[in-house]
Every structure is written in structure tokens, then in C-alpha cells.
Chains A and B, each alone.
Chain A
Amino acid sequence: MAIKVNLDLMLVKRDMTLTQLSEEVGVTISNLSILKTGKAKAIRFSTLNAICDALDCQPGDILEYEASDNNN
């Protein structure tokens, strides 16, 4: 997928664990893990909003577009 998730990078920058983020955001660890590993097909605005709020960052800090030959 051309969209890359930089959640792990932001967690390191904010010195937070996935469990802490999970408790703060109210999303299960397994769902956050799906997001972190790039397996997620979609992300809700509400989830993105909560993550940005918890990590004090912008959506662009978490999501990054990576151009590739095959965008499918």
C-alpha cells in the first residue's frame, strides 16, 4: 500500500508504549497493532483524531504517502 503508517516512530518520539496509547485512545491493542504493522485497510477519523490527541501530533506525522509503481 502507498500509505505508510509511522505510528511506531511517533511512539518512540513520545516515549510511549502501545499499551499506554491503547488505554488513552480507547482502541484495543490488537487494532493498534494492525495499524502499526500497516495491515489496516482503513482508519476512522475518530481514531485518527484520538491518536493525534494522545500523541500531540498531526495526521501527517502518523500517515505518510509513499509513491510506488503499483498503487494497488
Chain B
Amino acid sequence: MSGFGKKSTAYIRYLIVNAWWYLSCLAGILLPALLTYGYFQDPHSDTIMGINVPLADSLVALKNPEQYQYITVDSATGQVDFNYLLQNNPTLYIAWALFFCVVLALIIYGIYQLRNLLKSSVNNSIFTEQNVGRIKTMAVIIILIDPLRWIQHHFMFKTLGNIIPPETANIRIGLQMVGDDWTFIVMGLLVFTLAAVFEKGNEMFQELKLTV
């Protein structure tokens, strides 16, 4: 860990990703455990977390009619409690929990690869075969995001749409530019990693230029 002496940008990025990785690991342990606990032990517990499903705009009514002057509602997001899902459709609950665990495992594995990539850049050994494999793995995981979203939409949200009661719906008003997921953060970190690779590559090129 010779490079750790210098507080380089790669080191700071490594610390951020490291913290993120440990938090994901914690989530990876706690959430499946809570889902299992909810299913076997405490079917009437409070909601652990909800699933957002798109709702038709006809279901949405603002409290104050004057608010329609300022807010246009084209579609809204409803939220289903896990508790409700568990009581009404246990099969879907299990399927969703398994799907959630698979996605979480993929995310954790991707972050682990990113963490190791940044660690190697801090240690000045970025151009290795392992790192090529790590970047390819991360690329595959990023490519898998859309097919997983498709599965989520077609096999889970559509089933949920049949059982969702309108009274449990709530509206979330957010900026369209800011995604609900972490895609942009992951992309940003990957671009930063690429910058670190280019930084090192440039250093090596300069060294090569001064090799007689």
C-alpha cells in the first residue's frame, strides 16, 4: 500500500467506494434477513420498505383544487406495503424477495469489483489482467440493469397493478433529472475510475517518452 501515503484523488474515491461497499454488505445481510423474518415470524409487522408502482393519473386527486394551477399530474407512483403483499399474494412476495436478493447480490459484487479496481489504482498496479476482468464484470452488470428492469416491470409490477388498492397510493413529486436509482452515481464513479486509468496511463506514457 505504498500509494496510500499520498492522499490522491484515487485514494479519496477508494474511500468513498469502500464506505459504499461496506454499507451495501450491511444491507445485503440485513434486508434478506428482515424479508425472511417478515415471512416466517411476523406477518403483521410494520412495512420494511415499499415497492413503487406506476398509477394512472385518473387515480390521483390533489387535496386542494387550487394546486392544479401549479402541479400537472400525468402519472403518479403508488406504493405497496410488503405487509399487504405478504397477506394477499405470498408467492409474489417470495418472488420479489428472491429477485431483490439477486439484484442486491449483483450490486454488491459490482461495487466490490469497483472497490478492488480503485484499490489497485491507489497501489499503482492498474494495468493488470485482473482489472481487465473487473471492468468486464462491471460492464456485464451494467448491461444487466435494463433486462432486470424489464423483468421487474413485466412480471412483478403488472401483477401488483391488479392487487393495488387506490387508497394506499401516494404521490411523490420529484425532479425528472434526478433518477430514483443509483445508475448515475455508478456511472460517475466508473468515469472517475476511467480518469484514474488514463492518469496512470499518461504517467506511464511520459515515462516511456523519457526512456532512452
Q: List residues of A whose CB falls within 8 A of some B CB.
A: 27, 31-32, 34-35, 39-44, 47
In the complex, what residues of A have CB within 8 A of residue B211's CB?
Answer: 40-44
A15 to B212 alpha-carbon distance, docked (Å): 22
B181 interface contact, C-beta 8 A: no
Residue interface mask B25-38, A partner, CB < 8 A = 1:
00000000000000
- 9 pairs, CB–CB < 8 Å, chain A vs chain B: A34-B210, A39-B210, A40-B210, A40-B211, A40-B212, A42-B207, A42-B211, A42-B212, A47-B212
Within 8 A of A (CB), among B169-212: 207, 210-212
| Chain B interface size, under 10 / 10 to 19 / 20 to 34 / 35 or more | under 10
In the A-B complex, list the 4 residue pairs whose CB atoms are closest, starting with the nearest.
A41-B210, A42-B211, A35-B212, A41-B207
In the complex, what residues of A have CB within 8 A of residue B207's CB?
Answer: 41-42
In the complex, what residues of A have CB within 8 A of residue B210's CB?
Answer: 34, 39-42
A21 to B211 alpha-carbon distance, docked (Å): 18
Nearest opposing residue in chain B for A42, CB measure: B211
Nearest opposing residue in chain B for A31, CB measure: B212
A27 to B210 alpha-carbon distance, docked (Å): 13
CB distance from B6 to the nearest CB of A (A): 11
In the complex, what residues of B have CB within 8 A of residue A35's CB?
Answer: 212
Nearest opposing residue in chain A for B210, CB measure: A41
In the complex, what residues of B have CB within 8 A of residue A42's CB?
Answer: 207, 210-212
Nearest opposing residue in chain A for B206, CB measure: A41
A44 to B210 alpha-carbon distance, docked (Å): 11
CB distance from A37 to the nearest CB of B (A): 11
A39 to B207 alpha-carbon distance, docked (Å): 10
Given A42-B212, A44-B211, A44-B212, 12 extra CB contacts under 8 A: A31-B212, A32-B212, A34-B210, A34-B212, A35-B212, A40-B210, A40-B211, A40-B212, A41-B211, A42-B207, A42-B210, A47-B212
A40 to B209 alpha-carbon distance, docked (Å): 9
CB distance from A47 to the nearest CB of B (A): 5
In the complex, what residues of A have CB within 8 A of residue B212's CB?
Answer: 27, 31-32, 34-35, 40, 42-44, 47
In the complex, what residues of B have CB within 8 A of residue A41's CB?
Answer: 207, 210-211
